[in-house]
Amino acid sequence: MQDNAQTQSEQIETKRLLIDTTFLFDQYSFRGIGKYGKEVIKRIIKLALEDSIEVYFVGFYDLKKNLIALGLSQFSVDQYIKTIGFYSLGEAVDSSVGNIKRWKLTFKPAIEEIKPDVYFSVNFERGLPSTWILKRELSFVPKTVVMAHDAIPIATNSYSSKSFIHNILKGIFYRSMFNGIRHADLVLTNSNFSKKDLVKHGRVKEEKIYPIYLGVDEKFFEDTDPKLLTHVMKAFSLEEKKYFIYDSGLEKNKGIFDLIKLFKVITESNIDNVPNKLVLVGKDFTKATGSKIKPKNERADRVLKELKRNGLLENITTTDRVSDEDLTVLIKEAYCYFNFSKYEGFSFGPLQAMAAQVPAVVGNYSCLPEVTDGGAYLVDSANIEKASKEIIEYLRDNNLQQEFIKKGRAVAERYDWEKTADKTWSQIRTLF
pLDDT tens string for the chain (432 positions)?
444 444 444 445 789 999 999 999 999 998 889 999 999 999 999 999 999 999 999 999 999 999 999 999 999 999 999 999 999 999 999 999 999 999 999 999 999 999 999 999 999 999 999 999 999 999 999 999 999 999 999 999 988 878 889 899 999 999 999 999 999 999 999 999 999 999 999 999 999 999 999 999 999 999 999 999 999 999 999 987 899 999 999 987 899 999 999 999 999 998 988 999 999 999 999 999 999 999 999 999 999 999 999 999 999 999 999 999 999 999 999 999 999 999 999 999 999 999 999 999 999 999 999 999 999 999 999 999 999 999 999 999 999 999 999 999 999 999 999 999 999 999 999 999
- The count of domains in the chain is 2
What is the predicted pLDDT for the residue at 229? 95
- Tell whether 77 and 156 lie within a shared domain: yes
- Tell whether 183 and 48 lie within a shared domain: yes
Q: What's phi and psi for 221, nearest 5 deg?
A: -90, -15
Domain that holds residue 368: 218-412
Distance CA 319, CA 307 (A): 16
What is the predicted pLDDT for the residue at 207? 97
Q: How far is CA 307 from CA 70, 258, 271, 320, 415, in A?
A: 38, 12, 21, 17, 35
336-339 and 377-379 beta bridge pairing: unpaired
- Tell whether 88 and 20 lie within a shared domain: yes
Q: Per DSSP, what are the bridge partners of residue 59?
A: 88
- Tell whether 187 and 273 lie within a shared domain: no
Cβ pair 261, 306 in contact under 8 A? no
DSSP state of 295: B
- Tell whether 377 and 247 lie within a shared domain: yes
Q: How many CB atoms lie within 10 A of CB 370?
A: 15
Q: How many CB atoms lie within 10 A of CB 309?
A: 11
Which CATH number goes with the domain that contains 319? 3.40.50.2000
- Tell whether 316 and 365 lie within a shared domain: yes
CA-based R_g, the chain, Å = 23
What is the predicted pLDDT for the residue at 253? 84
Distance CA 415, CA 392 (A): 29
Which residue intervals of 17-127 are DSSP H helices? 32-50, 63-69, 74-81, 99-103, 107-114
What is the predicted pLDDT for the residue at 5? 44
- Tell whether 240 and 209 lie within a shared domain: no
Q: What's phi and psi for 247, nearest 5 deg?
A: -135, 25
Cβ pair 316, 278 in contact under 8 A? yes
What is the predicted pLDDT for the residue at 12? 58
What is the predicted pLDDT for the residue at 9? 46
Distance CA 279, CA 237 (A): 11
- Tell whether 380 and 278 lie within a shared domain: yes
| Long-range contact set of residues 293-299: C-beta below 8 Å, sequence gap at least 24 | 293/318, 298/161, 299/161, 299/250, 299/251
- Tell whether 312 and 177 lie within a shared domain: no
Q: Give residue 406's identity as a one-letter amino acid code.
A: K
- Tell whether 205 and 229 lie within a shared domain: no
* DSSP 3-state of 133: helix
Distant-in-sequence, close-in-space partners of 309: CB < 8 Å, separation ≥ 6:
none
- Tell whether 365 and 314 lie within a shared domain: yes
- Tell whether 173 and 283 lie within a shared domain: no
